[in-house]
Structure 1
């Protein structure tokens, strides 16, 4: 039986499987590399994972856990929520077995990518995560670059967290990375996993960059996911009074692991306005050094 790939917007619960509240691999997404799971563990519970042909990062969304793999144990302190602070994390190599256990229980993102090289298992301390303030004015947002290219070594996987204050636009100007243009743009499949503070609702837009390309306007709530195989993506719009979080997971076929984007030609001018506006004073939501760009 052939399983039809998910459409671009995957509502919370639509991809649940076993202990996973979200389980989207490359096959279900209809592409070749990027995957994301959200593991829910009850207090005292544990989960075993065979990494197969993919590398994975275990990233606490709520709660902490212990990760055992390759003869090592990593104690992840985690956090109360994605709106409460930067978290530590663990990297799992391909072709490995791992166990994730949580005394108090919690929810844990497993960001993954099919890869070729087997890198060592490692711990990522929260204090070493670069936190960037990007944009300005009502386009200000906070980016936790825990597994950005050039920050933390992976074979294919690129992953970051973005926090958008209520009423602001992020992923703006709309941009794309669906072509291999050396030095200009990298080809990357991307997953957006959303949480909205206190149960609010946000919006996310993807518009076609080619005839027949992805065309989506999604109303997103906590637990929703948007899949972006191609297209101009953005803005992501946070509702007034409710901050919005999303986890970006990216990977692609390029030999070089890099995040190179092209701005939409009708909207790129917005960057020129940022130096005069300054960063939204509500940021950082938690520890960061301002560096608008």
Structure 2
């Protein structure tokens, strides 16, 4: 039986996956992934929600209320060491995204949404050359991060978007951490989507979502194009030997600030002063 947190993709057709707030049973995050064949397009209205459109692969043209942004995106694979093209769109806009004329390959785009703010927002192409790229962790916990729409980007109201590549054999979102309590400055509440890709695509990875009291404790075997919904709890990921893992994270909550809390029993990995480290050391 599939985990209730796991959303499987459609094997064919324009829409790969669609997770609305209603389907997820939460308030903020919405996510769609689309595959656009040559000359194919899709149109969406943002309504009361803000949108970050991420060009995962291929090249597309994006039109917002009649103004066009041409030839966005250059990646053939999400595993290239290149930041994606992305467009931020505020509330009350009509957006059309289409594979560029003359394209010979399918383009893949992500539509990441959250409640927006009223008034006259500004449509903007997010400069891929200015996206922060960083390395987190060390050893088998090393992963590579690209901040597409981080919490210190002032253009969004609630939405945060980031992509991560975890090399084969490595762990990610690790030590296990959570952000399900609105208790700043120690922790903030953010719902989260993981959109997974595997290289080679026939691979798989594992993601666990669990709370301290284990009232939620689900482990998902994720495959290419799968979505894992994280409504609360810790949510580590592991990529088996032989398969690199990419995921696109979409987060949103009542306030646009990312502060996480590590699982105390695993805090020793990053804080040698923790009581968990002392217990581990004494038992070694």
TM-score, with structure 1 as normaliser: 0.85
Comparing 130-139 and 115-124, the one that deviates more: 115-124
Other-structure match for 1:288: none
Query: Quick check: 1:135–1:271 contact (8 Å CA) kept in 2?
Result: no
> 1:115-137 CA deviation, whole Å, 9 max, x = no partner?
23452110012111100101111
Residue 107 of structure 1 pairs with residue 108 of structure 2: yes
Moved more, 187-196 or 62-71: 62-71
Q: Distance in 1 between matches of 2:69 and 2:28?
A: 26
Alignment of 1:10-159 (within 5 A): 10-13=7-10, 19-75=14-70, 76-84=72-80, 85-103=82-100, 104=103, 105-118=106-119, 119-151=121-153, 153-159=155-161
Is there any run of 5+ residues in structure 1 with no aligned partner, and where?
1-5, 274-293
The 1:108–1:13 alpha-carbon spacing in structure 2 relative to 1, beyond 3 Å, is same
Q: Deviations over 1:237-264 (max 9, x none)?
A: 112122100111011123xx11000110
Q: Which moved more, 1:264-273 or 1:223-232?
A: 264-273
Distance 1:25 1:245, change over 3 A: same
Matched, 1:253 2:262: no
**Maintained 8 Å contact 1:92/1:122:** yes
Paired residue for 1:193?
195
**Which residue is 2:240 aligned to?**
239
Query: Residue 52 of structure 1: CA displacement?
Result: 1.2
- Following superposition, the deviation at residue 141 of structure 1 comes to 0.4
String of CA shifts for 1:205-226, please: whole Å, max 9, x gaps. 11123462x2110101111111
**Gap change, CA 1:143 and 1:152, over 3 Å in 2:** farther
Aligned-pair CA distance for 1:102: 1.0
User: 3-state DSSP class of the match of 1:58?
Assistant: strand
Q: Does 1:208 align with 2:211?
A: yes
List runs of 5+ in structure 2 lacking aligned partners: 273-284
Runs of 4+ in 1 over 6 A off after TM superposition: none
Shift of 1:61: 1.5
Do the aligned partners of 1:117 and 1:155 also contact (CA within 8 Å) in 2?
Answer: no
Whole-angstrom CA distance in 1 between matches of 2:43 and 2:141: 41
Q: CA deviation at 1:78?
A: 3.5
Contact 1:210 1:231 in 2 (8 A): no
Once residues 79 and 126 of structure 1 are traced to their aligned partners in structure 2, the CA distance between those partners, rounded to angstroms, is: 12
